[in-house]
Amino acid sequence: MESPLPRTILVTGGNRGIGLEACRQLSRQGHRILLTARDLPGGEAAAAALADEGLDVRFHPLDVTSEASITDLQQFVEKDLGRLDVLVNNAGIFLHAEDKGITTLKLETVRATLETNTLAPLRLCQAFLPLMRKQKYGRIVNVSSGMGQIARLREISSAYRLSKTALNAVTIMLAAAVREPDILINACHPGWVRTGMGGDSAPRSVNEGADTIVWLATLPAGGPHGGFFEDRQQIAW
Protein backbone atom coordinates (compact mmCIF):
# COMPACT_ATOMS: atom_id res chain seq x y z
CA MET A 1 0.00 0.00 0.00
CA GLU A 2 1.46 3.32 -1.07
CA SER A 3 2.08 5.73 1.79
CA PRO A 4 -0.23 8.72 1.86
CA LEU A 5 1.26 12.14 1.33
CA PRO A 6 2.69 13.93 3.14
CA ARG A 7 5.01 11.21 4.36
CA THR A 8 6.39 11.23 7.88
CA ILE A 9 10.19 11.28 7.84
CA LEU A 10 12.58 10.95 10.78
CA VAL A 11 16.11 12.30 10.40
CA THR A 12 18.77 11.66 13.04
CA GLY A 13 21.45 14.29 13.54
CA GLY A 14 19.16 16.77 11.82
CA ASN A 15 20.29 19.91 13.60
CA ARG A 16 23.19 20.75 11.30
CA GLY A 17 25.13 19.89 8.16
CA ILE A 18 23.83 17.27 5.77
CA GLY A 19 21.05 16.22 8.15
CA LEU A 20 19.66 19.73 8.38
CA GLU A 21 19.77 20.16 4.61
CA ALA A 22 18.04 16.81 4.10
CA CYS A 23 15.28 17.98 6.46
CA ARG A 24 14.93 21.19 4.45
CA GLN A 25 14.83 19.50 1.04
CA LEU A 26 12.40 16.79 2.13
CA SER A 27 10.10 19.27 3.81
CA ARG A 28 10.08 21.45 0.72
CA GLN A 29 8.70 18.43 -1.13
CA GLY A 30 5.72 18.56 1.22
CA HIS A 31 6.68 15.91 3.74
CA ARG A 32 6.36 16.07 7.53
CA ILE A 33 9.78 16.02 9.19
CA LEU A 34 10.72 14.84 12.65
CA LEU A 35 14.14 16.39 13.21
CA THR A 36 16.05 14.63 15.98
CA ALA A 37 19.32 15.51 17.68
CA ARG A 38 21.14 14.98 20.96
CA ASP A 39 21.80 18.73 21.25
CA LEU A 40 18.49 19.98 22.68
CA PRO A 41 19.01 23.74 22.13
CA GLY A 42 20.57 23.15 18.71
CA GLY A 43 17.78 20.82 17.62
CA GLU A 44 15.04 23.16 18.80
CA ALA A 45 16.71 26.10 17.06
CA ALA A 46 17.15 24.17 13.79
CA ALA A 47 13.52 23.03 13.75
CA ALA A 48 12.32 26.54 14.58
CA ALA A 49 14.41 28.03 11.76
CA LEU A 50 12.90 25.60 9.26
CA ALA A 51 9.42 26.26 10.61
CA ASP A 52 10.06 29.98 10.06
CA GLU A 53 10.60 29.09 6.38
CA GLY A 54 7.05 27.74 6.37
CA LEU A 55 8.14 24.10 6.55
CA ASP A 56 6.43 21.31 8.49
CA VAL A 57 9.24 20.37 10.87
CA ARG A 58 9.11 19.42 14.53
CA PHE A 59 11.87 18.48 16.94
CA HIS A 60 12.30 15.51 19.25
CA PRO A 61 15.44 14.91 21.33
CA LEU A 62 17.38 11.74 20.60
CA ASP A 63 20.65 10.38 21.91
CA VAL A 64 21.24 7.56 19.44
CA THR A 65 23.58 5.79 21.87
CA SER A 66 20.90 5.59 24.58
CA GLU A 67 18.45 2.68 24.58
CA ALA A 68 16.08 4.69 26.77
CA SER A 69 16.18 7.65 24.37
CA ILE A 70 15.43 5.41 21.37
CA THR A 71 12.54 3.77 23.24
CA ASP A 72 11.13 7.18 24.16
CA LEU A 73 11.31 8.26 20.51
CA GLN A 74 9.69 5.03 19.35
CA GLN A 75 6.79 5.53 21.76
CA PHE A 76 6.37 9.14 20.69
CA VAL A 77 6.22 8.19 17.02
CA GLU A 78 3.73 5.40 17.60
CA LYS A 79 1.43 7.37 19.92
CA ASP A 80 1.66 10.91 18.54
CA LEU A 81 2.41 10.42 14.85
CA GLY A 82 0.85 7.03 14.25
CA ARG A 83 3.24 6.04 11.46
CA LEU A 84 6.77 6.43 10.20
CA ASP A 85 7.36 6.25 6.48
CA VAL A 86 11.05 7.06 6.23
CA LEU A 87 14.04 6.69 8.58
CA VAL A 88 17.24 8.55 7.68
CA ASN A 89 20.13 7.34 9.85
CA ASN A 90 22.36 10.37 9.44
CA ALA A 91 23.85 10.94 12.92
CA GLY A 92 27.53 10.11 13.07
CA ILE A 93 30.86 10.97 14.67
CA PHE A 94 34.45 11.13 13.45
CA LEU A 95 36.93 11.34 16.33
CA HIS A 96 39.73 12.89 14.28
CA ALA A 97 42.17 13.61 17.09
CA GLU A 98 41.89 10.10 18.52
CA ASP A 99 41.91 8.23 15.20
CA LYS A 100 45.42 8.50 13.78
CA GLY A 101 45.94 4.93 12.61
CA ILE A 102 45.10 1.28 13.20
CA THR A 103 48.40 0.45 14.95
CA THR A 104 47.87 3.00 17.73
CA LEU A 105 44.06 3.16 17.79
CA LYS A 106 42.54 2.81 21.25
CA LEU A 107 39.65 0.41 21.58
CA GLU A 108 37.66 3.05 23.45
CA THR A 109 37.68 5.12 20.26
CA VAL A 110 36.48 2.15 18.22
CA ARG A 111 33.71 1.40 20.71
CA ALA A 112 32.48 4.99 20.81
CA THR A 113 32.52 5.26 17.03
CA LEU A 114 30.73 1.95 16.49
CA GLU A 115 28.08 2.87 19.07
CA THR A 116 27.07 5.98 17.15
CA ASN A 117 27.83 5.09 13.54
CA THR A 118 26.84 1.41 13.41
CA LEU A 119 24.94 0.09 16.42
CA ALA A 120 22.64 3.10 16.71
CA PRO A 121 21.38 2.84 13.09
CA LEU A 122 20.83 -0.90 13.61
CA ARG A 123 18.85 -0.30 16.80
CA LEU A 124 16.74 2.40 15.14
CA CYS A 125 15.97 0.10 12.22
CA GLN A 126 14.93 -2.60 14.67
CA ALA A 127 12.72 -0.09 16.48
CA PHE A 128 10.84 1.19 13.43
CA LEU A 129 10.76 -1.72 11.00
CA PRO A 130 7.73 -3.30 12.76
CA LEU A 131 5.75 -0.10 12.16
CA MET A 132 6.82 0.00 8.51
CA ARG A 133 5.85 -3.64 8.09
CA LYS A 134 2.47 -3.00 9.67
CA GLN A 135 1.73 -0.15 7.26
CA LYS A 136 3.33 -2.06 4.35
CA TYR A 137 5.53 0.87 3.38
CA GLY A 138 8.95 2.16 4.39
CA ARG A 139 12.22 3.67 3.27
CA ILE A 140 15.45 3.43 5.28
CA VAL A 141 18.53 5.43 4.31
CA ASN A 142 21.79 4.67 6.11
CA VAL A 143 24.22 7.52 5.57
CA SER A 144 27.54 5.75 5.13
CA SER A 145 30.82 6.81 3.50
CA GLY A 146 33.09 5.83 0.67
CA MET A 147 35.75 5.52 3.37
CA GLY A 148 33.99 2.32 4.35
CA GLN A 149 34.31 0.72 0.92
CA ILE A 150 36.45 -2.43 1.13
CA ALA A 151 38.64 -1.40 -1.80
CA ARG A 152 39.28 2.02 -0.22
CA LEU A 153 40.19 0.89 3.30
CA ARG A 154 43.38 2.48 4.60
CA GLU A 155 45.27 2.41 7.88
CA ILE A 156 44.30 5.98 8.86
CA SER A 157 40.94 7.15 10.23
CA SER A 158 40.49 3.50 11.03
CA ALA A 159 37.71 3.64 13.64
CA TYR A 160 35.55 5.71 11.32
CA ARG A 161 36.28 3.43 8.36
CA LEU A 162 35.49 0.33 10.41
CA SER A 163 32.19 1.81 11.56
CA LYS A 164 31.07 2.62 8.02
CA THR A 165 32.15 -0.76 6.62
CA ALA A 166 30.09 -2.34 9.40
CA LEU A 167 27.14 -0.04 8.62
CA ASN A 168 27.30 -1.19 5.01
CA ALA A 169 27.15 -4.79 6.25
CA VAL A 170 24.14 -3.94 8.41
CA THR A 171 22.43 -2.48 5.34
CA ILE A 172 23.08 -5.60 3.26
CA MET A 173 21.80 -7.93 5.98
CA LEU A 174 18.70 -5.86 6.76
CA ALA A 175 17.83 -5.72 3.07
CA ALA A 176 18.19 -9.50 2.85
CA ALA A 177 15.93 -9.93 5.89
CA VAL A 178 13.23 -7.49 4.81
CA ARG A 179 11.52 -8.70 1.65
CA GLU A 180 8.24 -6.79 1.77
CA PRO A 181 7.86 -5.29 -1.71
CA ASP A 182 7.51 -1.65 -0.65
CA ILE A 183 10.08 -1.42 2.12
CA LEU A 184 13.38 -0.31 0.60
CA ILE A 185 16.65 -0.17 2.55
CA ASN A 186 19.80 1.39 1.11
CA ALA A 187 23.02 3.15 2.05
CA CYS A 188 24.65 6.18 0.48
CA HIS A 189 27.95 8.03 0.32
CA PRO A 190 27.22 11.79 0.38
CA GLY A 191 30.77 12.68 -0.60
CA TRP A 192 33.20 15.02 1.11
CA VAL A 193 30.92 17.85 2.18
CA ARG A 194 31.55 21.26 3.75
CA THR A 195 30.21 20.59 7.24
CA GLY A 196 31.57 20.64 10.77
CA MET A 197 32.86 17.11 10.16
CA GLY A 198 34.03 17.62 6.57
CA GLY A 199 35.66 20.99 7.09
CA ASP A 200 35.75 24.16 4.98
CA SER A 201 38.06 22.71 2.30
CA ALA A 202 35.60 19.99 1.26
CA PRO A 203 34.55 20.31 -2.41
CA ARG A 204 30.82 19.61 -2.02
CA SER A 205 28.02 21.75 -0.61
CA VAL A 206 25.44 20.44 1.85
CA ASN A 207 22.89 20.71 -0.95
CA GLU A 208 24.95 18.29 -3.06
CA GLY A 209 25.63 16.04 -0.08
CA ALA A 210 21.94 15.72 0.79
CA ASP A 211 20.74 15.02 -2.75
CA THR A 212 21.17 11.23 -2.80
CA ILE A 213 19.77 10.94 0.72
CA VAL A 214 16.61 12.75 -0.38
CA TRP A 215 16.40 10.63 -3.54
CA LEU A 216 16.63 7.36 -1.59
CA ALA A 217 14.17 8.61 1.02
CA THR A 218 11.54 9.21 -1.66
CA LEU A 219 12.10 6.22 -3.95
CA PRO A 220 9.01 5.06 -5.82
CA ALA A 221 7.68 1.53 -5.55
CA GLY A 222 10.04 -0.89 -7.30
CA GLY A 223 13.10 1.22 -6.51
CA PRO A 224 16.47 -0.23 -5.52
CA HIS A 225 16.82 -2.29 -2.35
CA GLY A 226 20.02 -3.29 -0.61
CA GLY A 227 22.35 -1.00 -2.58
CA PHE A 228 25.10 1.55 -1.94
CA PHE A 229 24.76 4.83 -3.85
CA GLU A 230 26.75 7.96 -4.66
CA ASP A 231 25.22 10.76 -6.75
CA ARG A 232 22.22 8.47 -7.35
CA GLN A 233 24.44 5.84 -8.95
CA GLN A 234 25.13 2.43 -7.41
CA ILE A 235 28.71 1.89 -6.25
CA ALA A 236 30.64 -1.14 -4.97
CA TRP A 237 30.59 -2.07 -1.31
Q: Any long-range contacts for 124-127 (C-beta under 8 Å, 24+ apart)?
A: 124/12, 124/64, 124/70, 124/87, 124/89, 125/87, 125/89, 125/170, 125/174, 125/185, 127/70, 127/71, 127/73, 127/74
Is 137 assigned a catalytic role? no
- The catalytic residue among 128, 160, 228, 229 is 160
Q: Long-range CB contacts (< 8 A, 24+ apart) of 48-52?
A: 50/20, 50/23, 50/24
Per the CB < 8 A criterion, the answer to whether 236 and 223 are in contact is: no
* 86-89, strands of its sheet edge to edge: 57-61, 32-37, 8-11, 86-89, 138-143, 183-188, 228-230, 233-234
Nearest CA to 149 out of 135, 167, 174, 128 is that of: 167
Alpha helices in 84-183 (DSSP H): 107-114, 120-135, 158-177
As annotated, the active-site residues are 160
